Amino acid sequence: MATVVATDYSVAANGDIRYTGTTTNNTVIEFHRWLGTLMDDAQASGNDILDITDSTASERSTDNIITLKYPYNIDDTLAQHLYDGSIIQSTTSSNLGENIYDGIVVLAPTGMYLSIVQNGALATNFWTTGLNADADNGISHRFMLKVRSAGADIDGRRLIGQTREFGFTYSEFKINGTARGNNVLALSYATDLNNQTASGTVATWTTITNTEGYRALDVNNDTTSEYYYSEWNRDTYTINQLYERLKYLSRRGSASTLYGLNGELFRGITHHVVVDTPVGTFSATENVSWSGGTGRMVAINSTTAPTAMWIQLLTGIAPTNNQTITGATSAATCLMNITITERTVSTPFFGVSTGSAMIGAYGLGVEAADLSASDKVFDLSNTQITPPNNVVFTVSGLVSGEDRVLVGPASAGELLKTQFATNATYSGATVTSIVVTTTIPSDTPGSGTIRIQCNSGIEKRIAYSSYTGSTFTVTSTDFSTDNSTAGNYLYISYIDKLATGTSETFTTIYSSDRSLYVRVRDGATTPIKTFETTGTLGSAGGSSTAIRTSDA
């Protein structure tokens, strides 16, 4: 047993025991033994006003549980220098156990930066990457934390230990109510091989965005939407870069806001709550409270007539049947209706990245076009959803503002203009749908452009916003001065535009290999000879690079 350095502590006549040292730390039993050496002194001296004439300063229940008898007490500063147990103390002789510091032992690799969430906020961190570590026994930290103050438990003595060091695996461990003595936090901490991009680089990926709240997405393209609490758009970044960005937003020291919470505090959905009897209009996301707890509501299936909401529990315990849940911003209310389901939290809240695909956390949604057949997401019913194979075809080597690009179906190395035939004559001034004689294939982009043969011989370019069966829903188009007779040909122009960058793309769902015809022309100030080739849209997408042969 180590000896307490007398100059590191002082005892005042009023019972205040304070830390006067610089770096020395002691176990609670060492601290108790030191007080014992003072209590049997014949006469107090110096700044240790404690001897045989004074009342008992401390009592030992076990080597890990020490009670300071009134009026003797420590403060938060001294508590930072004691470990391996609990200190129980009072501010009056009648109010026993008014303040309690409980021991925390962290089982984790040494060098791990630890954070603790207490009462919905980050506790003041004095332990950082290690304090009173015992590497031989797998202990990275040992310290005490105040869990009861002024006669009231701090959030029921609940704690969440977590590690969110960018570039390393994230983990968390809950203590649902500390006990006297030592309480264990078991955390993992290892290099994350899928998170090796520099933090400063990931900080610039600001075009990765999210639409928060209850989101309807048809991820598996079966014409029926599933529901999620987010819709992340990865923009031009890979799925693994999305993973890194979400880790960055929720890392230790984050200044980002996720669903109204600091990123380091955001954990994702902890509870799915069935509700009824709504009054008022809830916000799409907001803080909610009930007698005995608070949470952040991250999704609600209707703001005016909800039957379910999804929350991250912040403080207290989850609501129980018929408790009133109140929105902090909206002041709307509803009742918890019998069923509540606790959901497993993923660390990080994204879920898992394999490096090339995601296995998403519960309820986390990603824009359907940003997912591939290798990805898996779980909707708010906790059903695994597998996306179809979204693929991209790219035409590169372009000059923005000069090159006109056309990509269409190919047959025998030529542009297949007879891909479809129309089933009606179009002669109206405001045509908004065009029907063909066969079913439109499933690998057709969800929106884009078509070319339809008019009677004049012109192939009219028309934008469509969607399709179903054999019908394209199109921008209102005037055929009154140039009709298109039933049976005229029609084809999909997968890319049909003046280039706006050095490359142009289209995205669609792969079903089988499709032959494509590519044409690039530039007749402007630096003309080129027409570039024509064929390409294949395969299971991994496809590409073509324009060859720019001068025609000057």
Q: Tell whether 382 and 397 lie within a shared domain.
A: no
194 in a structural domain: no
Structural domain ending residue among the three candidates 141, 161, 186:
186
Q: Assess whether 107 and 79 both reside in one domain.
A: no
Measured distance CA(436)–CA(451) in Å, rounded? 12
Residue 489 located in a structural domain: yes
**Does residue 1 belong to any structural domain of this protein?**
no
Specify whether 409 is located in the same domain as 362.
no
Residue 10 inside a domain? The answer is: yes
Residues 494 and 531 in one domain: yes
Number of separate domains in the chain:
5
Could you tell me if 113 and 107 are in contact, meaning their C-beta atoms sit under 8 angstroms apart? no
What pLDDT sits at residue 201?
Answer: 98
Whole-number Å distance between alpha carbons of 218 and 195: 29
**Of 120, 154, 186, the domain-final residue:** 186
How far is CA 341 from each of CA 270, 323, 337, rounded to the nearest angstrom?
A: 8, 16, 12
Residue 217: domain span = 199-264+347-388
Partners of 411 in beta bridges: 414
Are the beta carbons of 101 and 144 closer than 8 angstroms? yes
498 token code pair: 């003046």
Tell me, yes or no, whether 160 and 208 share the same domain.
Answer: no
Q: Is 284 part of a structural domain of the chain?
A: yes
Q: Which of 65, 97, 129 is where one domain is finished?
A: 97
Q: Is residue 528 part of a domain?
A: yes
> Quick one: 174 and 224 in the same domain?
no
Q: Are residues 466 and 319 in the same domain?
A: no
The two structure tokens encoding residue 16: 């205040």
Given a contact cutoff of 8 angstroms between Cβ atoms, the answer to whether 166 and 195 are in contact is yes
Instruction: Indicate whether 433 belongs to any domain.
Output: yes
Whose tokens are 């996301």? That residue is: 285
DSSP 308-372: EEEEEEEEE----TT-EEEETTT--EEEEEEEEEE-PPPSSTTEEE-SS-EEEEET--B-GGG--
Residue 170 and residue 123 share a domain: yes
pLDDT tens over the chain, length 552 residues:
567 777 899 999 999 999 999 889 999 999 999 999 999 999 998 888 999 999 999 999 999 999 999 999 999 999 999 999 999 999 887 788 899 999 999 999 999 999 999 999 999 999 999 999 999 999 999 999 999 999 999 999 999 999 999 999 999 999 999 999 999 999 999 999 999 999 999 999 999 999 999 999 999 988 899 999 999 999 999 999 999 999 999 999 999 999 999 999 999 999 999 999 999 999 999 999 999 999 999 999 999 999 999 999 999 999 999 999 999 999 999 999 999 999 999 999 999 999 999 999 999 999 998 998 999 999 999 999 999 998 999 999 999 999 999 999 999 999 999 999 999 999 999 999 999 999 999 999 999 999 999 999 999 999 999 999 999 999 999 999 999 999 999 999 999 999 999 999 999 999 999 999 999 999 988 899 999 999 999 999 999 999 999 998
Task: List all residues 6 or more positions away from 289 whose beta carbon is below 8 Å from its beta carbon.
Answer: 295, 325, 326, 328
Residue 14 burial by Cβ neighbours in a 10 Å radius (0-12, 13-18, 19+): exposed
Alpha carbon distances (Å) from 293 to 119, 120, 336, 416:
10, 11, 13, 64
Q: Do residues 411 and 462 both lie within one domain?
A: yes
The answer on 436 and 511 residing in a single domain is yes
For residue 247, tell me if it sits in a domain: yes
Q: Record the tokens describing residue 77, joined without a space.
A: 């500063």
Both 251 and 357 in one domain: the answer is yes
**454 and 500 both lie in a single domain:** yes
pLDDT at 2: 64
Amino acid letter for position 440: I
pTM of the full structure: 0.85
